[in-house]
Structure 1
Amino acid sequence: MTSGEVGEVPKHLIALAQQAAAPQLTEAALERRFGARSTWVPAPGQIWRALHDDIGVLVLLLAVDADSVTAAPVTIDSIAENHDSVLIEGGVTFDAAVNVWPTLARELPASLLDRPVDDVGVAIVQQVADQAARPEDALESAGRLAVDPSVSEARAALEDDLAAMLEVTATEADATNTEVAGGIDIHALAPEALDTAAARLGVSLPVVLDLIDGKQAPTSQEATIMREVLGATPTTAPPPPGLVREFNQPRWRGLVRQRRRRDEVTDSAARLALAYEVSAMAARQTGGQEPSWPDRIRRWAEAHQLDPDTAE
């Protein structure tokens, strides 16, 4: 919803969107309820805030995979139960009942999950699945209200927000996954060229060698400098898939935000940069053996004086 549309939207829907974007849970309350941020593990029956930039939607997790979740949007409102939504009693966080919209369930990247806000249990997941499977006429014959304009508007707003988040994340992923063409033959380089590259980049010679070997991904500025000085951009080997999947988990969103703001890049680019750095550290310490990526990330954060449990 844009500001230009506010005059056309019922006030209770505006309040709904505001509640979805910013549920009233402080960081201290989150930690008391769900533990430290770096220990969060999404699970069916939990309600999370899915967030990308200024778009926020509450979602009930129906199924959880390694890289994604199947989730149905949730609203906090007084809309009567209908063939599109299921009215359930709220958990600890919400004082009132909430509506789950099973017909709007989507597969979302796990990286969109920002924070848990409630846990209504797996029994609710089955209730939502059963309700979604019932035909519309069964609900109407049971005396529930048919869809009214406010329900249609709420559904349309949720569809738009979910579509916008998925479109933006897909675009970011495509841009981040674009391979850098080229390559550098280190044996063909004069020592003076390596020294010049190190000076221009403001790093030590071992860092330049890591960039050339593909152990560390260059930023766009570093790639430009290396192209100017060395005549080519290094081809970077992708980080381990397990590490990439780990950084997609919401427990590392604090680190991603810190990196994104420092480098002024997208979330996807920030995750990839972090993955390259942790991968390079792990390669030096363990060789080719697959390490415990959560442990490696925590060690990397400690070495860089970063707190993975901070929100920012």
Structure 2
Amino acid sequence: MSEPDVPQRFLDLAKQAGGQRALTDTGLRERFGEPGEAEVYAGQVWRARWDQVSVLVLVLAVEDRDVLAAPVTVDPPVEDGHCLVVDGSSNTFGVDATVWAALATSVPVRVLERTIDTWSGDIARWISTTEGRSEPAPAGTRHGHGGGSELDPVASFRAELADDLESLQQAPGLPAETPGMTTQDLASLLGDRLDLALLCNSLGMRQPEVMKLLRGKVPLTLEQVKTVARVTGLAAEKIAQTVRPLPFGLVVAAEHPRWRHVWHERARRQHVSEAEARLSGSYGAFALAARETGGRGRDWDERLRRFLSDEELDPGDA
């Protein structure tokens, strides 16, 4: 399950079995728009991905930064007594799809990458409220069977799925403000240890850029944290805690799937990870809002668009 192309293999198999044009890139765009454009709601099947882990999941409920979701598999045709099997005539795959109801858990919304299908809301409600019980399955579905013994091969498959979900849960998120939270900036932490010229030289940065770091306006990279720790003698953990958290609304906006393709492209251009691209881009949008409104911008999607548009026009100032 940990192969990054496994869910794509599921889709390829389904297309072969049912000849489903709806599962091609063109078909998915016709149904759901560009990747990430669809709003997230219960009953959708998404491809969730982070690093080398990629899993199909059925969304059961949505919160601000997380979704309650259950993994979905198509190939191999494995199931157990806690699963719900959705008939091929009731889904776009054209083959039976297994929902692992007992593995339903919260995963970050930021790992959702592409809407694959939309199922009846009855399916999501049944899994959310009757998992493990004997109520009749919704129309177009049936109860799974087998897998009762830990010696059954399905137990290993189930454990692998659980490991993949745990990996998705570890996807790094943005630092978010909480009520009453205060953050000491790096300048205050350094106090009389602050040697601006030494920091500029050690970090290889101009003074205005270092001042942003000192005031917590931009995030420190891991290498910058190590450098500051080395030249000041302070613990790296304390230095890493000096970056000001982002407004909660900005975090929710930046972690929404609609921005994933933007962070992917930004990461490619800057030769950094997706997490780093999202982190620096979000702080850039926050700095833009702070200059214009004191940091109280309400339309964070628009702030992100404006910052990224300015960055593309003048990448030297990013």
Deviation at 1:101, TM superposition (A): 2.1
Q: Structure 1's 159 and 294: CA in aligned 2 closer, same or farther, altered over 3 A?
A: farther
Indicate the residue corresponding to 2:180 in structure 1: none
Aligned mate of 2:187, from 184, 206, 217: 184
1:246 aligns with 2:269: no
Aligned mate of 2:306, from 295, 299, 304: 299
Secondary structure of 1:304's partner? helix
Unaligned runs of 5+ in 2: 16-22, 178-182, 314-318
Matches within 5 A, 1:1-312: 18-19=9-10, 25=23, 27-37=25-35, 39-77=37-75, 79=77, 83-90=81-88, 93-129=92-128, 132-135=131-134, 146-147=145-146, 152-154=152-154, 156-167=156-167, 169-170=169-170, 172=172, 183-184=186-187, 194=196, 204-224=206-226, 235-261=242-268, 262-265=270-273, 267-305=274-312
RMSD over aligned Cα, in angstroms?
Answer: 4.5
Deviation at 1:188, TM superposition (A): 6.7
TM-score by length of 1: 0.71
Letter in 1 for 2:146: V
Cα distance between partner residues in 1 of 2:149 and 2:233: 61
Cα distance between partner residues in 1 of 2:6 and 2:44: 22
TM-score by length of 2: 0.70
Per-residue deviation, residues 14-42 of structure 1 (Å, max 9, x unmatched): 98883179987455443322123453321
CA contact (8 A) 2:174 2:279 kept: no
Cα distance between partner residues in 1 of 2:251 and 2:209: 22
Indicate the residue corresponding to 1:9 in structure 2: none
Bigger Cα displacement from structure 2, 250-259 vs 289-298: 250-259
Cα distance between partner residues in 1 of 2:47 and 2:297: 32
Cα distance between partner residues in 2 of 1:167 and 1:174: 17
Q: Structure 1's 199 and 29: CA in aligned 2 closer, same or farther, altered over 3 A?
A: farther
Cα distance between partner residues in 2 of 1:156 and 1:288: 49
Q: Structure 1's 203 and 133: CA in aligned 2 closer, same or farther, altered over 3 A?
A: same
CA contact (8 A) 2:297 2:303 kept: no
Q: How many residues align?
A: 288
User: Percent same amino acid at aligned positions?
Assistant: 29
Deviation at 1:240, TM superposition (A): 1.6
Cα distance between partner residues in 1 of 2:169 and 2:128: 27
Deviation at 1:127, TM superposition (A): 3.9
CA contact (8 A) 2:71 2:104 kept: yes
Secondary structure of 1:115's partner? strand
Cα distance between partner residues in 2 of 1:34 and 1:188: 56
Cα distance between partner residues in 2 of 1:203 and 1:195: 10
Cα distance between partner residues in 2 of 1:174 and 1:239: 8
Letter in 2 for 1:85: C
Deviation at 1:187, TM superposition (A): 9.4
Letter in 2 for 1:48: W
Cα distance between partner residues in 1 of 2:51 and 2:154: 21
Letter in 2 for 1:216: V
Q: Structure 1's 162 and 260: CA in aligned 2 closer, same or farther, altered over 3 A?
A: farther
Q: Structure 1's 294 and 22: CA in aligned 2 closer, same or farther, altered over 3 A?
A: farther
Q: Structure 1's 16 and 164: CA in aligned 2 closer, same or farther, altered over 3 A?
A: closer
Cα distance between partner residues in 2 of 1:28 and 1:304: 30
Letter in 1 for 2:10: Q
